[in-house]
Chains A and B, each alone.
Chain A
Amino acid sequence: MPLDIRIEARPPFHYSISERVECVSTGGTVEFRIDRRSGVATYWQIVQQAKQALRLGLLRPGDKLPTAREVVEATAINPNTVLKAYRELEREGLVEARRGLGTFVRASLGAAGDSRYRADLEDWVARAHEDGLGREDITALFDSVLDGHFPQETP
């Protein structure tokens, strides 16, 4: 699938002024934020943040992920945790490890249908709200439907 259709003149996102400082610390294209109190496994936080970066277009096919060394230097987490996260991303076909070169993004995560689903969801939430459902009711309902559809997703 020839997904990589970006125009090369576009500078990589990390050249924008506001991001420059962050990128010095990881030398790469994304910076991972580890929340030690969230209770979410650290490797899973990395997986989720990489996916988020793919969805937002911060990472695109061909981009190189920071090396495990760069990530642990910046975040002070265990190197095996980073490797585990990268293996998971690789298993899902999102990145590939090239021996001696690093880990590279292979695929982007589709934001294609997003706007249509978002409109549907906006509509649905508005109706639920009108009928008296609060934020927590809606979250609980949404979670239970998600759990029904994706029973194996473990955080």
Chain B
Amino acid sequence: MTDAVAALEAAGVGMSCSRRRGAVVEDCSFRLPQGRICALVGPNGAGKTTLLRLAAGLLRPARGTLSVLGRTPAAARGRVAYVAQSKPLHPHLSVADTLRFGAELNRDTGRWDQPAAERIAYGDETLDPFTKIRALSGGQRTRVALALALGKRAELMLLDEPMGDLDPLARRQLTGALMAAAESGTTIVMSSHVITELESSCDFLLLVAGGRLRLAGALEEVVSAHTLLTGTSALDTSRQTVIEQRSVGRGRTALVRADGAPVGEWLAERPTVEEVVLAHLRNTQAPPLLAEEAAPESARRAPHARSQENAA
């Protein structure tokens, strides 16, 4: 599995938009194996969009390297579908023309799937093929943009806030279509603010905050690396990394990365994905965690060195 080409592999990727404002993305190193459904999570301005644009080959990293399906982002473009948050489409084309446009642009790959694209675009029977894009609602534009992405039958789909303006029904239907694509091997990266929604569909997590990678790895592995402790005694910080702790009445609760069993009388529970993510968003000083599968080839020799040295 480690020998297979990664869908995305970043080594020390950094990016700045202007000299004054500092880095938008800094020192990002991770590996996303193929076939995963990856949630890209982080607050506004964390660098999610920049990371996706870098992967799509629309930006060139200022520092470090990023490879997509084993190639440069530009060389991999034919096998990658990128849906930007603004869903840029030609406003004067009709829906049917837009799909035809997609078919023509992807003619040379021989992979374009017209029936699949039409199924997504006209799936809920509210879209008329002859409506111009400019007359569509935000949700309908999303539907057309995803129809193009799914019609392309890309090996890697990069989706920036794909579900943002969809109604619950369309959201369910289109997420279902994405999951079906994943079932046939497509790797998906989607950014979102809504963590609970990603929980049932994603199996890989990339958490960025302040331009830096905070958490990366298989969702299950990342969550089970953390424990939620409740008790009254003092925390032994030499044996565990405390991500966040709060006093509640007589006791305290803490989210920790435990290296050993906690000392004293602690109730240890498994945190939810949301609890792990929120704790890391509140405490951006917490050392980053790169779970084993997410460690890039370059870091594989000492996969845990990074989190150890940063542990306070």
Residues of A at under 8 Å CB distance from B? 34, 36, 39, 42, 68-69, 72-81
Contact A76 B196 (CB under 8 A): no
> What are 22 residue pairs bridging A and B, where the CB atoms are less than 8 Å apart in the complex?
A34-B200, A68-B183, A69-B183, A69-B184, A72-B182, A73-B177, A73-B179, A73-B180, A74-B176, A75-B176, A76-B173, A76-B176, A76-B179, A76-B201, A77-B200, A78-B200, A78-B201, A79-B179, A79-B180, A79-B182, A79-B183, A80-B203
Which among A75, A77, A79 has the greatest number of chain B C-beta atoms within 10 A? A79
- Known contacts A36-B196, A68-B183, A69-B183, A78 near B176 by CB under 8 Å: no
Residues of B at under 8 Å CB distance from A? 37, 171-173, 175-177, 179-180, 182-184, 196, 199-203, 272
Contact A36 B200 (CB under 8 A): yes
- Other than the known A73-B177, A76-B200, A78-B37, what 13 A-B pairs have Cβ atoms closer than 8 Å? A36-B196, A36-B199, A36-B200, A39-B272, A69-B180, A69-B184, A72-B182, A73-B179, A76-B176, A77-B200, A78-B200, A79-B182, A81-B200
Whole-angstrom distance between the Cβ of B197 and the nearest chain A Cβ: 8
Residue of A nearest to B219 (CB): A78
A78 contacts across to B, CB distance below 8 A: 37, 179, 182, 200-203
A39 contacts across to B, CB distance below 8 A: 272
Contact of A42 among B177, B182, B200 (CB under 8 A): B200
Residue of B nearest to A36 (CB): B200
A69 contacts across to B, CB distance below 8 A: 180, 183-184
B272 contacts across to A, CB distance below 8 A: 39
Which 9 A-B pairs have CB atoms at the shortest separation, nearest pair first?
A: A72-B179, A76-B175, A79-B183, A73-B176, A76-B176, A73-B180, A77-B200, A69-B183, A69-B180
Whole-angstrom distance between the Cβ of B179 and the nearest chain A Cβ: 4
Contact A72 B200 (CB under 8 A): no
Whole-angstrom distance between the Cβ of A155 and the nearest chain B Cβ: 11
Whole-angstrom distance between the Cβ of A77 and the nearest chain B Cβ: 5
Whole-angstrom distance between the Cβ of B209 and the nearest chain A Cβ: 24
CA distance A34 to B202 in the complex (A): 15
CA distance A95 to B55 in the complex (A): 42
Residue of A nearest to B197 (CB): A36
CA distance A16 to B306 in the complex (A): 60
CA distance A79 to B202 in the complex (A): 9
Residue of B nearest to A67 (CB): B183
Contact A77 B201 (CB under 8 A): yes
Residue of A nearest to B183 (CB): A79
Residue of B nearest to A70 (CB): B180
Residue of A nearest to B177 (CB): A73
Contact B176 A72 (CB under 8 A): yes
Whole-angstrom distance between the Cβ of B41 and the nearest chain A Cβ: 16
CA distance A69 to B200 in the complex (A): 15
A42 contacts across to B, CB distance below 8 A: 200
Whole-angstrom distance between the Cβ of A100 and the nearest chain B Cβ: 15
- Known contacts A36-B196, A78-B37, A72 near B180 by CB under 8 Å: yes
A76 contacts across to B, CB distance below 8 A: 171-173, 175-176, 179, 200-201
Whole-angstrom distance between the Cβ of A91 and the nearest chain B Cβ: 19
Which among A69, A72, A77, A81 has the greatest number of chain B C-beta atoms within 10 A? A72
B173 contacts across to A, CB distance below 8 A: 76
CA distance A69 to B177 in the complex (A): 9
CA distance A34 to B179 in the complex (A): 15
B176 contacts across to A, CB distance below 8 A: 72-76
A72 contacts across to B, CB distance below 8 A: 176, 179-180, 182-183
CA distance A34 to B175 in the complex (A): 14
Which among B171, B182, B184 has the greatest number of chain A C-beta atoms within 10 A? B182
CA distance A142 to B67 in the complex (A): 56
Residue of B nearest to A77 (CB): B200
Contact of A77 among B171, B179, B184, B196 (CB under 8 A): B179
Whole-angstrom distance between the Cβ of B245 and the nearest chain A Cβ: 23
CA distance A78 to B182 in the complex (A): 8
CA distance A77 to B219 in the complex (A): 14
